[in-house]
Structure 1
Amino acid sequence: MRVRLSGSSDPEPPRRLARLPNRLKADKAPARTAILQRLAASRLFAFGDRAGVLRSAQARSGRAFRLDVRQRVIVKALVARHIGRGFERNAALAAHVSYLARSGAGVEGGRADFFDRELDAVDASRTTKSWGEDRHHFRFIVSPEHGDRIADLRRFTRETMKRVAEDLGEPDLQWLGVCHFDTDQPHAHVLVRGRRASGRDLVIPRDYIGYGFRARAQEVAHELLGDLSRVEAEQRIWRETQADRFTGFDRRLLQAADANLEVEDGVGGTDAWAALNRGRLRHLETLGLATRHGPRYRLAPDLEAKLRTLQVRRDVVRSLHQRRLEAGRDVRELGDEPVRGRVVKSGHHDELGASGWVIVRDAQGVEHFARLRTAQTLPGTGRAVELGPGLGGASVTELGRGQGLER
């Protein structure tokens, strides 16, 4: 199905521009007040102007619509806490740094080199060694939707981080970046130290991570690339109706649903939102997350949670299938009972290093796959461990010399 999103011939009322301030606060302004003001501006920029053409469109059809031609940037974040003592406190970060600098992830299959706001070649292992003394650090993935069109991804990252540092009131913010080109979408990984220059913990508000950081990155991307063409904007919004993840369309459908989670199909409607929502409902139906009841659809309970876990489940299936091909044997998912064995393989489902997994071979030669708890340190290959099942993921406990693989 193709949808032509026609514009309005009605005159547009004056637009209110939402801009992020250049600084976090004035010298004499209370920090809390300044942060709240900045976050409000960040939301306006990230979501777009709610007035202007939207007001006239909503007045006509009751369904506000605006074809967004701005550049988008996906920002994923993880607050990684340092746990343990001594070497253990920095072990997870050291492993993540090693993974990010892997060979083949750089330009034309080369090695991915770290950089900071000034230097093009940084020894990340040495730089982050002292970070283990902090309470935490931050991991970000910054992925412009048209990263392949940005000639200098490092320049883009540096300019974004400069503006983020200004927002946080930390001009000397310590961060490292590395650009990856081994996926369909070139992107940057950014590690930020969790300590201010004053020695205090760096705390980044959740709303700023969700709105402000993304807004800054989108500012820079838009300055570099300009508006999308109308065709590109139409294709982007239609792809969202076919996505196997929780989207803005799903949020609107849930808001429009009644107490029985039923929502109108939109059949007979002529406006763009009706056609797009109809396309989204049809796709949810193919996923088993919506059921047609006459002219209406009933959405699945826990729709948001099911969509958010769908990708994780597919990652698990992919990992199991790959191991079965490699080892030529069956691999079981960890059940309700603990399992002891030796680690034969481990990795992450995401490049933030938050969703780890491990495969353990028990004393009978049976291999068991388990997703690990968030930020759980991956055990080394060959280590004797015990996997403990849990709702948030499995725990891993290394076995001592006197502990056998049999329970």
Structure 2
Amino acid sequence: MVIKARYTPMRGGSRAAAVHLRYLQRDGVTRDGAPGQLYSATSDRADGSAFLDRAEGDPRQFRLIVAPEDGPQLSDLRSFTRDLMRQVEQDLATKLDWLAVDHFNTGHPHTHIVIRGVDELGENLVIAGAYLAHGIRERASELATIELGPETMLEQQQKLQLEIDQEKLTRIDRALLREAGETTDGVVDTRATGNERHADFDRHLRIGRLQVLQRLGLAQEIDTGRWLLKPQMEQTLSHLGEQGDIIKTMHRAMASQKVERGAEQIVIHGKDEAIAAPIIGRLLGRGLSADELGDRVHLVIDGIDGRTHYIELPTGVAGVDSAPIGAILEVGAAGREPRAADQNIARLAKEHSGIYRPADHFADARADPGIADPDAYIEAHIRRLEALRRAGLVERVDADHWRIPTGFEQHAALHDAGRSPAVSLRVLSTLDLERQIASDGAAWLDRQLIGRDRLPVTMAGFGAEIEVALDQRRRHHIAHGDARRDGKGRVFYRRDLLARLEGRELARVGAEIATTRDQPFRLATRGETIRGTYRETVQLASGRYALIENAQEFTLVPWRPVIERSLGREVVGLVTDGGISWQLGRDCGLGL
């Protein structure tokens, strides 16, 4: 019986608990490849949202993984889990609020259980570490024995025999570590003696395992039958076991997308490893971190460098749980660039001996035709200063004077970085290569064809697939009159290719959406001020767009993260060459 357990502190406002539940219910975890189904003590279709609402404000959450060694032989894993949780409630002398989901996507069926961190009276639930580590395993083993009967000696020996060659921490290893700890010199003695402590099978089992450990550099036979275990043995075997699980996860993700890669093309990035260069490639798979208990998400990315990468990211990274499989991603170190508002404040303060005056800034804003609402614009800067004042970065002298220190932009950027993940994820395209080739929009492939900063790709793995796709996209443009090939084989594209492709796609999609709405679609033009209600986002080959609606019509304009909290509310923006500059009013409650 394998039990993994962890308690996780719940931070106020954290979305990690919701992300964890969502991944437990992901596609492909049931016997028939369907999404996982949450259940509880009383319901076969439990409501995860209601559970999270009840758990709002809980100090912690307990997470378990229950994996019976004979799981396939159990008649009903769900009934087994309910019996186990009833026994846990009896041991803890309280009713528990819990959800579970059964997974069959690996060779060993297992159950994930999430328990709220309060008891039936609403008080903090405290579970002793020893009970989490050993007590629940003993209860689960007892229940399995009741259903399947006690293991015979032969069954126990067969299971132990299978552990000899495994590159992970096994029961044999734990027994060896205990034995070494009981001796004064830390030596494990496997010699046969008249008062033999171990039966023949046990002795041969230990010798076989020690020989494997010696090949791994984790044990040494210092004399005939006398073995010394390396100090790092337990940690190394645990790491090897985790690495093995990760490789299996990567192979499942690759197999699901019909991708084949050699062992030399697999890269596993450590949890605390700094990302020296961005990882760019196709998303093959996504799931919880290796132990499936924490608040991190793993991505399997087929890179343009010809290698397949495994990397774990915090759930707080934007887009980590929303990018579709097959999308083109870029994962890199989070930027430390100052905000535009901070740069404005620093510039004006520098002109006035380190003092920022909202009144002076308001006068400048009124004279700028690109700022639709100067009052809201200045108020957003003041809200930013108030937040930084609470962090001790600026000083408010009075209502119209703020003292701004030297290096303010960098200090503010570092302050923001400390409150956000150290990595960032950018979705370069939600379309896979095949759909990009035939797209009528400005796809990621087009930017690679005509962009000055084309990404370097390796002619292996996904990199080789990109080169083939680029050639097919090039032929597509020639066939549609958007490019021509001269007598020397050189290809020349329309000067305004990206803008033309984007316009075509917007016109087509806008017309399609108009058939489902009461208003007509109108294409926004450069220099135009857009005012209306932000209704929804629309994902196109050319990028992500916001649908803005007013009483007469609707339009599609480039989406930016800053407007997401204004969904369903009025927004104002100026269409520019680079997209759109949003001016969010005081009612939106957003800064710049």
**TM-score grouping bracket, smaller chain normalisation:** 0.5 to 0.7
Which residue among 232, 238, 253 is the counterpart of 1:302?
Answer: 232
- Tell whether 2:138 aligns with 1:215: yes
* Cα distance in 2 for residues equivalent to 1:111 and 1:364: 32
Distance 1:320 1:164, change over 3 A: closer
Q: CA RMSD in A?
A: 3.9
Structure with more contact order per residue of length (Cα contacts < 8 Å, sep ≥ 6): 1
Spell out the pairing of 1:322-337 with structure 2 (5 A cutoff): 333=269
Q: Which secondary structure does the structure 2 equivalent of 1:292 belong to?
A: strand
Distance 1:284 1:362, change over 3 A: closer
Which residue among 233, 246, 263 is the counterpart of 2:188?
Answer: 263
Aligned length: 317
Which residue among 312, 333, 339 is the counterpart of 1:386?
Answer: 333
Alpha-carbon contact 2:280-2:304 (below 8 Å) kept = no
Q: CA deviation at 1:219?
A: 1.9
Spell out the pairing of 1:2-401 with structure 2 (5 A cutoff): 73-83=1-11, 85-86=12-13, 89=14, 91-171=15-95, 173-257=96-180, 261-266=186-191, 271-272=199-200, 273-295=202-224, 296-315=226-245, 333=269, 339=276, 341=278, 345=283, 347=287, 348-353=289-294, 356-358=297-299, 370-371=311-312, 377=316, 379=318, 380=320, 381=323, 386=333, 396-398=422-424
Q: CA deviation at 1:364?
A: 11
Gaps of 5+ in 2: 324-328, 336-420, 427-559, 562-592
Distance 1:185 1:263, change over 3 A: same
Gaps of 5+ in 1: 1-72, 389-394, 403-407
Q: Which amino acid aligns with 2:244?
A: R
Q: CA deviation at 1:362?
A: 11
Distance 1:333 1:104, change over 3 A: closer
Structure number with bigger Rg: 2
* Cα distance in 2 for residues equivalent to 1:362 and 1:278: 43
For each residue in 1:324-382, what CA deviation from the matched residue of structure 2 results, as whole angstroms up to 9, or x when unmatched?
9579988684797555758865542233345644579999999976445xx76455245
Distance 1:156 1:127, change over 3 A: same
Q: CA deviation at 1:315?
A: 4.4
The percentage of aligned residue pairs carrying the same residue is 30
Q: Which amino acid aligns with 1:202?
A: L
Q: Which secondary structure does the structure 2 equivalent of 1:311 belong to?
A: helix
Alpha-carbon contact 1:358-1:370 (below 8 Å) kept = yes
For each residue in 1:235-270, what CA deviation from the matched residue of structure 2 results, as whole angstroms up to 9, or x when unmatched?
122223333322343233334446665433436768
* Cα distance in 2 for residues equivalent to 1:362 and 1:110: 28
Q: Which secondary structure does the structure 2 equivalent of 1:151 belong to?
A: coil
Q: Which amino acid aligns with 1:289?
A: L
* Cα distance in 1 for residues equivalent to 2:159 and 2:305: 51
Alpha-carbon contact 1:290-1:298 (below 8 Å) kept = yes
Higher strand share: 2
For each residue in 1:291-334, what CA deviation from the matched residue of structure 2 results, as whole angstroms up to 9, or x when unmatched?
23340333222211111111223345567787795799886847
Q: CA deviation at 1:160?
A: 0.7
